[in-house]
Structure 1
């Protein structure tokens, strides 16, 4: 389902690059937090992407927000105060996520071990129709925990352990109003603000992220304890004959690239279009009453922290 697919994106972000410029009419601006207990390093990481491409990164080891694109470096240098504030947001989230994982371990009646708590939030905007949408999802150990239905402005949960959290947040009108304003206005405004900055940088380099993931299957377990995920992109013959495609996978601050050959792009699915399937295997890292923390800020990130107590 949609929520499961979105939560899967927390673990891997896949996008494609090719030359020359390709027009993209639907844009996304997404931030994801991942907290991990145990002796894993780093125990917390945060990533923000624009149209599937990482624009900043933070983790509990480096303890500072790092711009990942040249244009983002320029943006960070023009407003040092805001960049510092966004770093502080992640520091606060890092501390709170340690507590959240401890609470969820008790709520799910689990023994100590490696567990993950994740949140992914952001918005999408169609620059042709002007339509926009927001999303905000919390996950635990790779499964849906609580999610915000932005249109209905109500939280939902697929698990019994999330009912207390859901009810608590649904009764917090101040929090809901804050999120409503963010997803209807602020998130999209920042997305629109960043697009021209990225465009200038792309025109300088002569390439663009080609984000056309049409099919993305859910995570499936393997017998050896790893997981797999398959994503499919449709590429027209005029595109693969004239351009070089590179599959790029970003995971926990590391980037993996693979240049796709013509044989890999071609398939027998259609005589008009080619389907490229990417089979990815990765190792898993393995409510409670909730409070909310909001402080006054002018950040380009969502100034809100969810605390499980």
Structure 2
């Protein structure tokens, strides 16, 4: 029997709440169509700020982010200064350093991800800084040793130079230990009603054809810290299961799927799709039921050959009837013509006999 259990998703008593602030930075040289310095800031993977130093753009992407800046004009100016002046200065200096290392390249693109994470349960803060150069991993910052780590052999020279730049070391340390935690706490405070919300998903069973896998699809959930799996008799299974990625929806929510190969499934009632937010005890459980599967596949219509045969026979009869009618009409017309010409021939014969 089909069962769909919607358990209480809003009781997160034992959950661990974590928040993160990440800055995605792109600095480049040699590309005319791309700004020299761009920053996108995200809190819990939700975009909150966009900065373009070349075009002098600095704008909040969330209403509560704009409210934060409206309530404190000093914070707004501090952020603009940091985005338009301080960070571009250090990143341009970094690119100039890389140009000396790799003079054969005409285009130089330096990408960085720097940020911090806060565990509200333990109040523990952690930071990270990673750089990529021309599309490849390049350098990472070791917070414990306050030194750079070369992520590939070609980065060894740059690591040595950056380790010797005291100002860069101090600035990076201040970013991940002071600036980032400060802004993360402010963003969480102002955006708590949005960031801390929990939206349960709508769950569907989908299948392309009877021989293909059954996909358990969850959509419309928030946050993206969730997991989904197939179980048999209450135990998670891995054989014949394929997990999809968590993908964003246009409205800020997320979607994900997990497929089950049902070709070897015995009793379908023993299988269930399970959705659960990370750290939560409650789950949404959907039983595998053939009657609830959505599909575009249709059963072949076996009556089609019979219908086709009937249509062909009917058409043939119509053609034959039409042809027969036409022949009868021609015959009647010819007889009528012959009967009309016969008296004239008789009269001609009579006239000939009289003459003689």
Using structure 1 for the length normalisation, give the TM-score. Answer: 0.57
Distance 2:116 2:104 in 1: 34
The answer to whether residue 98 in structure 2 is matched with residue 104 in structure 1 is: yes
| Inter-CA distance 45–101: structure 2 relative to 1 (3 Å threshold) | same
CA contact (8 A) 2:109 2:133 kept: yes
Query: 2:259 aligns to what SS in structure 1?
Result: coil
Paired residues in the alignment total 222
SS at 1:47 equivalent? strand
Separation in 1, partners of 2:36, 2:67: 29
Alignment of 1:12-161 (within 5 A): 25-36=17-28, 37-60=30-53, 62-92=55-85, 93-94=87-88, 97=91, 100-101=94-95, 103-113=97-107, 115-161=108-154
- Larger of the two Rg values belongs to structure: 2
Structure 1 residue 194 corresponds to structure 2 residue 207: no
Bigger relative contact order (CA 8 A; separation at least 6): 1
For structure 2, the 5+ residue unaligned runs are: 1-8, 201-220, 231-245, 262-270, 277-356
**Cα offset, 1:111, TM superposition:** 3.7
The answer to which of 59-68 and 71-80 deviates more is: 59-68
- Contact 1:28–1:124, Cα closer than 8 Å, also in 2: yes
Does residue 247 of the first structure (1) align with residue 240 of the second (2)?
no
The answer to whether the Cα contact below 8 Å between 1:41 and 1:61 also exists between their aligned partners in 2 is no
Structure 1 residue 42, shift from structure 2 partner: 3.4
Q: Is the 8 A contact 1:58 1:65 kept in 2?
A: yes
CA 1:146–1:57: 2 relative to 1, 3 Å = same
Alpha carbons of structure 1 residues 98 and 174: separation in structure 2 relative to 1, 3 Å? closer
Are 2:138 and 2:155, in contact at CA under 8 Å, matched by a contact in 1? yes
State the distance in 2 between where 1:155 and 1:247 align.
Answer: 33
Q: TM-score, normalised by structure 2?
A: 0.51
2:97 & 2:72 partners in 1: Cα distance?
Answer: 37
SS at match of 1:267: strand
Task: For 2:190 and 2:34, locate their aligned partners in 1 and report how far apart those are by CA, in whole Å.
Answer: 33
Q: 1:210 aligns with which of 196, 212, 223?
A: 223
Q: Residue 178 of structure 1: CA displacement?
A: 5.2
Residues 107-149 of structure 1: CA deviation (Å, up to 9, x unaligned): 2243424x42112211112112222211112221121222111
Question: In the aligned structure 2, how far is the partner of 1:181 from the partner of 1:96?
Answer: 13
Match of 2:176 among 178, 183, 208: 183
Shift of 1:82: 2.6
**Structure 1 unaligned residues grouped into runs of 5+:** 1-18, 213-232, 238-245, 250-254, 276-309
Distance 1:175 1:43 in 2: 19
Aligned twin of 1:267: 259
Measured in 2, the distance between the counterparts of 1:211 and 1:259 equals 6
The residue that corresponds to 2:349 in the other structure is none
1:44 deviates by 2.8
Q: How many angstroms apart in 1 are the aligned matches of 2:51 and 2:88? A: 10
Aligned Cα root-mean-square deviation (Å):
4.0
Which deviates more, 171-180 or 200-209? 200-209
SS of the aligned residue for 1:170 comes to: helix
Mapped to 1, the partners of 2:120 and 2:196 lie a distance apart of 19
Structure number with the higher strand fraction is: 1
**Distance in 1, Cα, partners of 2:169 & 2:74:** 27
Inter-CA distance 43–153: structure 2 relative to 1 (3 Å threshold): closer
